[in-house]
């Protein structure tokens, strides 16, 4: 065998071994084929009007206070304000595109502009959906009035009445003796009204459980502002703190006539009512 043939044979054997080593290395690096993850189906989304920042009580909503935010169509609430467009499937990574589309859709007057000028009556947190029940407009039917009344620890549930709580306004006064008695009468003037502020604080400090103040500002219907003015002139009123479970009850006037209870008064402690007899 010639020397040239020997050299060619050696080179061929070396190349084959090198190729085998390369193929084995590649197979060991990648390992067995990995399963492909299943792609989740696109979820229908719609645009919901949310607060762009925290909106405390008394804020007049203007441009920049509210924005459109993509929201799963199956998690919509009937009270949410939407852009009026039907829900469409939103593929992964298209959230920013949807937001831009929503902004273009409301370039003209629409649901967003409809809330401009409204006043926030219940605080709305950033990214929280805006609902009409938390807004009020000047001139709107049933517009409320803010009425301030003097309070103390003993007449405001020991200081546990905070802004945002719901209370009943109760008054007890001495009978005029027209029915032959000289006891006391009590009457629930207003029930389930909201406390807007204690003194000049419309929100309690973070983590506060009680506020001792001298004045409580209540939100009352316009027709009942005179009732509160008359009650202040007649004497002391008591704020009976309602439980959160009872905050959804009827709101407005209490019992139309005073409860005649000669020698009897109602005492409220920690939201619990008890009766006590008073000697004339």
- The string of pLDDT tens digits covering residues 100-117 is 444 444 444 688 988 998
- Considering the domain architecture, whether residues 162 and 89 belong to the same structural domain is answered as no
Mean pLDDT of the chain: 76
Q: Would you say 70 and 90 are in contact if contact means Cβ atoms under 8 Å apart?
A: yes
How does strand 215-221 pair with strand 135-136?
unpaired
9 Cβ contact list (under 8 Å, min separation 6) = none
- Considering the domain architecture, whether residues 269 and 168 belong to the same structural domain is answered as yes
Task: Please tell me what DSSP assigns to residue 262.
Answer: T
In a domain, 25, yes or no: no
In a domain, 37, yes or no: no
- Considering the domain architecture, whether residues 197 and 157 belong to the same structural domain is answered as yes
Which residue range forms the structural domain that includes residue 49?
A: 43-136
Domain count, the chain: 2
In a domain, 19, yes or no: no
pLDDT (mean) for 268-273: 58
Q: Would you say 188 and 258 are in contact if contact means Cβ atoms under 8 Å apart?
A: no
β-sheet bridge partners, residue 273: 268
pLDDT (mean) for 189-203: 87
pLDDT for the residue 259: 41
Token pair 């006064």 is at which residue?
Answer: 173
47 closest CA partner among 110, 117, 136, 141? 110
- Considering the domain architecture, whether residues 60 and 153 belong to the same structural domain is answered as no
- Considering the domain architecture, whether residues 157 and 254 belong to the same structural domain is answered as yes
Cα–Cα distance measured from residue 108 to residue 105, given in angstroms and rounded to the nearest whole number: 7
In a domain, 200, yes or no: yes
pLDDT for the residue 270: 58
pLDDT for the residue 39: 65
The fraction of the chain above a pLDDT of 90, given in percent, is 14
Domain boundary, last residue among 79, 109, 136: 136
pLDDT digits (tens, 9 = 90+) for 133-187: 888 775 554 567 888 999 998 888 888 899 888 999 998 877 666 655 567 778 8
pLDDT confidence of 67, banded at 50, 70, 90? very high
Q: Which string of b and e fits 41-50 if b means at least 16 CB within 10 Å? A: eeeebbbbbb
State phi, psi for 15 to the nearest 5 degrees.
-65, -40
Question: Residue 114: which CATH number?
Answer: 3.90.1210.10
pLDDT for the residue 89: 47
Domain boundary, last residue among 107, 136, 165: 136
In a domain, 271, yes or no: yes
Asked if residue 278 has pLDDT above 60, the reply is no
How is residue 30 written in tokens?
Answer: 């990648």
- Considering the domain architecture, whether residues 236 and 178 belong to the same structural domain is answered as yes
Domain boundary, last residue among 136, 156, 180: 136
- Considering the domain architecture, whether residues 129 and 209 belong to the same structural domain is answered as no
- Considering the domain architecture, whether residues 73 and 53 belong to the same structural domain is answered as yes
C-beta neighbour count of 150 within 10 angstroms: 13
pTM score of the predicted model: 0.50
Cα–Cα distance measured from residue 19 to residue 245, given in angstroms and rounded to the nearest whole number: 78
């Amino acid at each position: 065998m010639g020397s040239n043939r020997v050299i060619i044979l050696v080179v061929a054997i070396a190349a084959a071994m090198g190729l085998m080593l390369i193929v084995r290395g590649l197979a060991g690096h990648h390992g067995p084929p990995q399963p492909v993850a299943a792609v989740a189906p696109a979820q229908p989304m719609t645009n919901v009007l949310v607060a762009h920042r925290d909106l405390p009580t008394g804020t007049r909503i203007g441009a920049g206070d509210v924005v459109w935010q993509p929201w799963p169509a199956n998690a919509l609430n009937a009270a949410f304000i939407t852009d009026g467009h039907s829900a469409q499937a939103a593929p992964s990574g298209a959230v920013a595109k949807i937001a831009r589309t929503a902004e273009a859709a409301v370039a003209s007057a629409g649901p967003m502009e409809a809330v401009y000028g409204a006043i926030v009556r219940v605080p709305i947190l950033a990214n929280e959906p805006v609902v009409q029940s938390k807004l009020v407009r000047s001139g709107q039917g049933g517009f409320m009035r803010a009425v301030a009344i003097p309070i103390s620890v003993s007449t405001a549930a020991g200081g546990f009445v905070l802004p945002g709580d719901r209370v009943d306004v109760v008054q007890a006064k001495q009978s005029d003796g027209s029915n032959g008695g000289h006891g006391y009468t009590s009457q629930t003037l207003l029930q389930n009204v909201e406390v807007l502020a204690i003194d000049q604080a419309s929100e309690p400090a973070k983590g506060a459980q009680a506020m001792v103040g001298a004045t409580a500002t209540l939100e009352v219907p316009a027709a009942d502002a005179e009732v509160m003015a008359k009650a202040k002139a007649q004497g002391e009123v008591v704020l009976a703190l309602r439980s959160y479970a009872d905050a959804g009850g009827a709101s407005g006037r209490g019992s139309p006539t005073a409860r005649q209870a000669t020698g009897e008064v109602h005492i409220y402690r920690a939201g619990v009512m008890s009766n006590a007899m008073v000697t004339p």
